[in-house]
Structure 1
Amino acid sequence: MTGVALAEELLLLAYDDETGKATMPRISLDLGMAAAVLVELALAGRIAYADGSLAVIDPSPTGEPIADEVLVRIAADTPHTPSSWVQRLRHGLRDRILGDLCGRGVVRDVDETELGFIHVHRYPVVDASVEADSRRRLAEALAAGQLPDERTAALATLMAVLRMEPALGLTGEGARDAHRRLEEIAGVAGFSGTVGLDDSVVRPSVSLVVAALAQAVDAALGKREP
């Protein structure tokens, strides 16, 4: 597996490029990133969803450190539901991914002090090309009438569940239209559970994992107004 990890894409989209501050609630992003790591493993053909649990079907490393650590953890543990795994993985994940992005020069860590003693970290973007590719793919997916590739469709599904339209610079009716399109992408891809596996245009094994994780994150965050 090469390129930018799905959880990194999600995090970069959720942070303001200039201020380096998160534009969405911590719990939402943490759950979304945990789901994204698991989706990454499904896309790489390493895990599958069966009998209500996530299971390893191929233990070989992907080459992505965080994903590989999770893969080893799933293989060594007893079976757990997608809901359980996103809760287990979300703690500390944000700091780990931010640290990796800082180490690669994608963002920088700005350590500031408020009220004389409270340390606040901001992460403004240094290399905008990484996030630019994510935004380009999403913009094309929103504008096109056809389904994007599996990876972009999975990212769109997570963004729909997390209601991340404002991260795309959209508000009001534009944000509502984008949300409907993101949900449409998830549905046509078979990620929302509304399309039968025989009709899904992506691999059924991936559809099952993404659909289960999307439902898990949605349930954890509770019902929200569109």
Structure 2
Amino acid sequence: MTGVALAEELLLLAYDDESGKATGSRIGLDLAMAAAVLVELALAGRIAYSDGSIVVVDPAPTGQPVPDEVLARLATEPLNTPTAWVQRLRHGLRDRLLADLCQRGVVRDVGETALGSIPVHRYPAADASVEADIRRRLTDALTADRIPDERTAALATLVAAARMEPSLGVTGPTAVDAHRRLDEIAGGAGFAGSVSMEESTVRPSVALVIAALTRAVDAALGARA
């Protein structure tokens, strides 16, 4: 695993560097982050998708607290569908990841009071280079004529599933083009139906997990406007 997890990458994309406020759909981000934790485990070779369920194939810890907690739950709790797991895991995940990012100096926790008595928190960037690298990878993926590496392809697919194109700084026709390219990446990587597992640019075991999870996120969010 890398220093910044996929779920954290989604979180950083969704929060404005200066205002520290989240943009886009709250439920979309929370579902995508839950899916991203499971994708992280698939990338690490710990889980697979079989007979409609997420299953553990290697219970060895990864060394990352959040994924390892989820891995332990997967190993002990009854088998469940990807839809059930993303709904189950999304609760409290955002606060946990924000706290971790604050502790590591990636974002700052700015506490304020709204309407005279309601505590609110903003999370502006403390180390903007982390998010800049994420955006560079996505920009390269969107503008290149090839399918990116497994991890970046997974990130692009989750961005599309969560409908986070506005977080990329694009709107209107440009956002439509960005979504089309994100779908192309998902298809070329084998996460969607346009490419068979044999032709996938990523490991078939990983592609199956990501395909199942992105379908779950997309179904939970309903039809696009």
Q: TM-score interval w.r.t. the shorter chain? A: over 0.9
2:31 is aligned to 31
Identical-residue share of aligned pairs (%): 73
Is 1:184 the equivalent of 2:166?
no
Contact 2:28 2:163 in 1 (8 A): no
| Alpha-carbon separation, structure 2, partners of 1:194 and 1:49 | 19
User: 1:147 maps to what in 2?
Assistant: 147
Is the CA contact (8 Å cut-off) linking 1:192 and 1:214 kept in structure 2? Answer: no
8 Å Cα contact 1:2-1:63 kept in structure 2: no
> What is the CA distance between 1:219 and its match in structure 2?
0.5
Gaps of 5+ in 1: none
Q: CA deviation at 1:56?
A: 0.4
Distance between the aligned counterparts of 1:2 and 1:201, measured in 2?
A: 20
Q: What is the letter of the counterpart of residue 160 of structure 2?
A: A
Show the 5 A alignment for 1:1-226.
1-225=1-225
What CA distance in whole angstroms lies between the structure 2 residues aligned with 1:167 and 1:200? 27
Contact 1:86 1:217 in 2 (8 A): yes
Moved over 6 A (4+): none
Q: How much does 1:24 deviate?
A: 1.3
- The more displaced of 187-196 and 72-81 is 187-196
Counterpart of 2:109, as a letter, is: D
SS at match of 1:194: coil
**Cα distance between partner residues in 2 of 1:63 and 1:205:** 21
User: 1:146 & 1:106 partners in 2: Cα distance?
Assistant: 30
In 2, the alpha carbon distance for the partners of 1:78 and 1:70 equals: 13
Structure 2 gaps of 5+ residues are none
Letter in 1 for 2:69: E
Residue-pair matches, total: 225
Secondary structure at the counterpart of residue 198 of structure 1: helix
- Deviation of 1:194 (Å): 2.9
- 1:68-120: CA deviations, max 9, x gaps? 00000000111100000000000000000000000011001111101111111
3-state secondary structure, aligned to 2:120: strand
Alpha-carbon distance, 1:2 to partner: 3.0
Alpha-carbon contact 1:55-1:79 (below 8 Å) kept: yes
| Residue identity matched to 2:57 | I
Counterpart-to-counterpart distance in 2, 1:201 and 1:27: 30
Shift of 1:164: 1.1
Mapped partners of 1:219, 1:33: distance in 2? 15
Offset of residue 52 of structure 1: 0.2
TM-score normalised by length of structure 2? 0.98
Cα distance in 1, alignment partners of residues 139 and 124 from structure 2: 22
Letter in structure 2 aligned against 1:132:
A
